[in-house]
Chain A
């Protein structure tokens, strides 16, 4: 299915990519640790978002950043943010940097503009309470839209993110959608995998110390094996995201699209499986809001459910195997 020589994909981060991942990790540890994420209650902090943007994390695949490459940076950044459950419209912002004209892109890169990415025919606007740029997915295209502020209504979500509902007025069809979709899916997949792996790590650590029946939980195969399955599935999906990023950086957009769709779908399934499994490992304490699981599991649910969803990825992969039905 891939034109790229998959035997020679180097999925490791180079020094620069590792450096930005480390910097994002340090930023999260100092500015947005677990307690902050919980106290933010998944709300959007413009201050934190701009601080993050000031590190250049939203610019990798732009003329201002790595130019035509940058997808592995995006992978590394999304992994670092995912493992700290950092809130904000990350993947949509990467997509926006591919489709918006220079000045609008600059506002995204510096974190002063907030993007809402939604589906045509749907009034639900992720991050819509704070958004000033509205992008709409219409099949394989992306449209610029405007939102009438008077009509915008706050919507409560499972994860408490500040979404909104409003009808939009559609404007121009934007160039660069294909690249944007790939980066959107890579970032979503990488974030989901990292959040899932973080949860698996926490649950595994807990299983090593929590004892029942005089035995550490991790000694029970019923606990250990499902955690191992989660780890394997998340790691596999993470590898797909890295492969997509490598192909993107090498300019093989067909392979990148195939991988990014596979990565997104695999990551969604693996992260949901991890959320379920880890809640089960934590049992009672995982049900409480101050516990170690819910702030991560609901973020996973958010990324899996939020518009534009994964319909496009499924359709794309079906077309690749000759089963395309949409068009």
Chain B
């Protein structure tokens, strides 16, 4: 694996870094605090114009065709400034990739340009239900064929961008008699479709500017053409696409972890206690050394997973390892950094408390750390046997 970045990848990384510094960083704290939706959506639109909403989407559909590594680099840079914006970008890219992977030509031509250009503020990924989180195969949302339509009934919870997504990829059971995970299909449901109601945004601990909603489907009628991919083959798709999304979430966590450590590092060189700079204390120096080492290892795992995906190789285990490691180590980094600032880490004059709140969800959504361990260990043991 060649670890050097191509010119295009460096360009995208620089562009995302510049945008994050100039547009996101100045408003991130305000977005977290008061959830200024207009500013948030404005930034999403600008990101789409910069090509960040379809980084791995072919150019004929309006995407950047820049690849998975570029996607990972961009998400990390955005997350350094605003995790809420980064997660919305990551999920929108994932939705576009599902459509690109299994959509028919008509679906691709209809939806991908809208997602990539920002005509849709975001895309939504509708998998989780109240009783089906880590195990989505036991979902209860049903889609029943009725003439030329499908009728959806059920609820999806914790759906990122529920309020403003232009289109949702939604999974529902289409064969009641099949075993869990077998009779599930995937559908495209546009925001505003009659029968789809969006619940109020959850009041959350972190990533507060990004809306997280319940989707209520009540006799929601969608055309037969809204079926995405093959009937009863949707679960395999969900699992596959989540693996790609995990590279995004790992990259996001890495960005937040790095931002926290960079801030703490600077603080240690400025703040004095016991007559000397905090940076002179070896205990603190070693904490920096450990956390940066872990974050660098996380970066390499992410690059490896992105590279495998980009090459068209099996990348599921690599993505799980990268997400597990990056999100857990980013959590450690944020808490270490917060603690390094002492009382100042706990107050909102400094960004550390926001980083610590924002990073917590990363080891939970798009597959918890435990689920990544299930995937990794299952793969290892399968190889042994």
A contact residues vs B (CB 8 Å cutoff)? 119, 121-122, 124, 126, 155-159, 163, 165, 211-214, 220, 222-223, 272, 276, 279-280, 283-284, 286-290, 294, 298, 301-302, 304-307, 309, 311, 326
Residue of A155, A288, A306 near B205 (CB, 8 A) is A288
Q: Verify A288–B343 contact, CB threshold 8 A.
A: no
Among B257-265, B310-318, B360-368, the stretch in contact with A: B360-368
B30 at the binding interface (Cβ < 8 Å): no
* Residues of B close to A119: CB separation below 8 A: 343
B202 at the binding interface (Cβ < 8 Å): yes
B119 at the binding interface (Cβ < 8 Å): no
Q: Verify A284–B343 contact, CB threshold 8 A.
A: no
Q: Shortest distance in angstroms between A4's beta carbon and chain B's nearest beta carbon?
A: 30
* Residues of B close to A311: CB separation below 8 A: 273
The residue among A126, A156, A301, A302 with the most chain B CB atoms within 10 A of its own CB is A301
Q: Verify B342–A284 contact, CB threshold 8 A.
A: no
Q: Shortest distance in angstroms between A137's beta carbon and chain B's nearest beta carbon?
A: 12
Q: Verify B205–A284 contact, CB threshold 8 A.
A: no
Among B44-52, B98-106, B234-242, B346-354, the stretch in contact with A: B346-354
Knowing A276-B331, A280-B363 are in contact, say whether A156-B368 is a contact too (CB < 8 A). Answer: no
Q: Verify A283–B133 contact, CB threshold 8 A.
A: yes
Rounded to whole angstroms, the CA-CA distance of A155 and B368 in the bound complex is 34
Knowing A158-B356, A280-B368, A284-B364 are in contact, say whether A301-B346 is a contact too (CB < 8 A). Answer: yes
Q: Verify B128–A157 contact, CB threshold 8 A.
A: no
Q: Verify B133–A124 contact, CB threshold 8 A.
A: no
Rounded to whole angstroms, the CA-CA distance of A288 and B363 in the bound complex is 15
Rounded to whole angstroms, the CA-CA distance of A279 and B158 in the bound complex is 16
Q: Shortest distance in angstroms between B256's beta carbon and chain A's nearest beta carbon?
A: 15
Q: Verify A213–B346 contact, CB threshold 8 A.
A: no
Interface contacts beyond A165-B349, A287-B202, A309-B343: sample of 9 additional A-B pairs, CB < 8 Å, sorted by A: A155-B348, A220-B370, A222-B373, A276-B331, A284-B157, A284-B364, A286-B205, A288-B204, A306-B346
Closest to A308 in B: B343
B286 at the binding interface (Cβ < 8 Å): no
* Residues of B close to A155: CB separation below 8 A: 347-349
Q: Verify B364–A287 contact, CB threshold 8 A.
A: yes
Closest to B373 in A: A222
Rounded to whole angstroms, the CA-CA distance of A294 and B135 in the bound complex is 24
Rounded to whole angstroms, the CA-CA distance of A220 and B335 in the bound complex is 27
Dominant SS at the A interface? mixed
Knowing A158-B356, A288-B204, A289-B203 are in contact, say whether A326-B274 is a contact too (CB < 8 A). Answer: yes
Closest to B137 in A: A213
The residue among A284, A290, A326 with the most chain B CB atoms within 10 A of its own CB is A284
Rounded to whole angstroms, the CA-CA distance of A7 and B128 in the bound complex is 54
B contact residues vs A (CB 8 Å cutoff)? 128, 131-135, 138, 157-158, 202-206, 273-274, 331, 335, 338-339, 342-349, 353, 356-357, 360-361, 363-365, 368-370, 373
Residue of B138, B342, B353 near A158 (CB, 8 A) is B353
Closest to B338 in A: A305
Q: Shortest distance in angstroms between A184's beta carbon and chain B's nearest beta carbon?
A: 15
Rounded to whole angstroms, the CA-CA distance of A157 and B158 in the bound complex is 26
Rounded to whole angstroms, the CA-CA distance of A223 and B370 in the bound complex is 8
Dominant SS at the B interface? mixed
Closest to A276 in B: B331
Q: Shortest distance in angstroms between B13's beta carbon and chain A's nearest beta carbon?
A: 29
Knowing A122-B343, A272-B335, A307-B343 are in contact, say whether A283-B364 is a contact too (CB < 8 A). Answer: yes
Q: Shortest distance in angstroms between A274's beta carbon and chain B's nearest beta carbon?
A: 13
Q: Verify B128–A124 contact, CB threshold 8 A.
A: no
Residue of A157, A279, A286 near B346 (CB, 8 A) is A157
Rounded to whole angstroms, the CA-CA distance of A311 and B133 in the bound complex is 41
Q: Shortest distance in angstroms between B339's beta carbon and chain A's nearest beta carbon?
A: 7
* Residues of A close to B133: CB separation below 8 A: 212, 283-284
Knowing A155-B349, A280-B363 are in contact, say whether A213-B342 is a contact too (CB < 8 A). Answer: no
Q: Verify A288–B335 contact, CB threshold 8 A.
A: no
Q: Shortest distance in angstroms between A178's beta carbon and chain B's nearest beta carbon?
A: 20
Knowing A155-B348, A158-B346 are in contact, say whether A213-B135 is a contact too (CB < 8 A). Answer: yes
Q: Shortest distance in angstroms between B273's beta carbon and chain A's nearest beta carbon?
A: 8
Rounded to whole angstroms, the CA-CA distance of A279 and B327 in the bound complex is 14
* Residues of A close to B365: CB separation below 8 A: 284
Q: Verify A280–B134 contact, CB threshold 8 A.
A: no
The 5 listed contacts between A and B (C-beta, < 8 Å) are A121-B273, A212-B132, A287-B360, A298-B205, A304-B339
Q: Verify A280–B353 contact, CB threshold 8 A.
A: no
Knowing A158-B353, A223-B370, A305-B338 are in contact, say whether A287-B204 is a contact too (CB < 8 A). Answer: yes
Q: Shortest distance in angstroms between A200's beta carbon and chain B's nearest beta carbon?
A: 17
* Residues of A close to B157: CB separation below 8 A: 284
* Residues of B close to A157: CB separation below 8 A: 346-348, 353
Closest to B206 in A: A287
Q: Verify A222–B370 contact, CB threshold 8 A.
A: yes
Q: Verify A288–B345 contact, CB threshold 8 A.
A: no
* Residues of A close to B361: CB separation below 8 A: 287
Q: Shortest distance in angstroms between B272's beta carbon and chain A's nearest beta carbon?
A: 8
Q: Verify A288–B347 contact, CB threshold 8 A.
A: no
Q: Verify B348–A156 contact, CB threshold 8 A.
A: yes
Q: Verify A305–B158 contact, CB threshold 8 A.
A: no
Residue of A211, A294, A306 near B343 (CB, 8 A) is A306
* Residues of B close to A288: CB separation below 8 A: 202-205
Rounded to whole angstroms, the CA-CA distance of A121 and B365 in the bound complex is 41
Rounded to whole angstroms, the CA-CA distance of A284 and B129 in the bound complex is 11
